[in-house]
Amino acid sequence: MDKLDVAVIIGSTREGRFGPVVANWFAERVAEHGDFRADVIDLVDANLPGALSGRPTPEVAAVSERLERADAFVVVTPEYNHSYPAALKTLLDWHGTQWRAKPVGFVSYGGLSGGLRAIEHLRPVFAELHATTIRETVSFHGAWSQFNDAGELIDAAPADAAAKKMLDQLSWWAEALHHAREARPYRT
């Protein structure tokens, strides 16, 4: 099988956000892993409307196409008020079918909890969207002190090992579900 397509989603749109630093680091791990082609979707650039309707805008349609192409997803999310950002919820609510029968991995960052509470809030939402979440995660506790000014990890070994483990699982699920969707379309 050719490389799998993974959409790496930067979930924060907050001014001064740290998400692109984490996402860039992770996109490098994806490239090193070798099983995937990464498409980084930055929700700042997506410009999704906050008001949901039955009439998707051109911006929604553009993101829809990218999500549809993906065999797997990795959500890069901070933790805001013990949960995930509103922009990420908007993305999820605008898109229903694109997640079905596909795996989702998580890279989180934050203070003491490292964004893990955001991940735990996302798991049941993705279950409702018929996606399979990967158990292994990558989490940065006190993320701002773990990266230098050039956006590189100061001690990369633990995070690199966690990313490899998560990507190995994501690859297995993405390939298995890709073949399953080809053999028999997923129905809800």
Q: What is the pLDDT of residue 32?
A: 97
Helices (H), ranges, the chain: 19-33, 43-46, 58-69, 86-94, 116-128, 143-146, 156-183
Give the per-residue pLDDT at 110. 96
Predicted local distance difference test score (pLDDT) of residue 76: 98
Topology classification of domain 4-183: Rossmann fold (3.40.50)
The reported pLDDT for the residue numbered 188 is 86
What's this model's pTM, rounded to 2 decimal places? 0.96
Q: What is the structure's pLDDT at 54?
A: 85
Residue spans per domain, the chain: 4-183
Q: To which H or E segment does residue 138 belong?
A: strand 138-141
Local mean pLDDT, 10-residue blocks, the chain (188 residues): 94 96 98 97 96 92 97 98 97 96 98 96 98 98 96 97 98 97 93
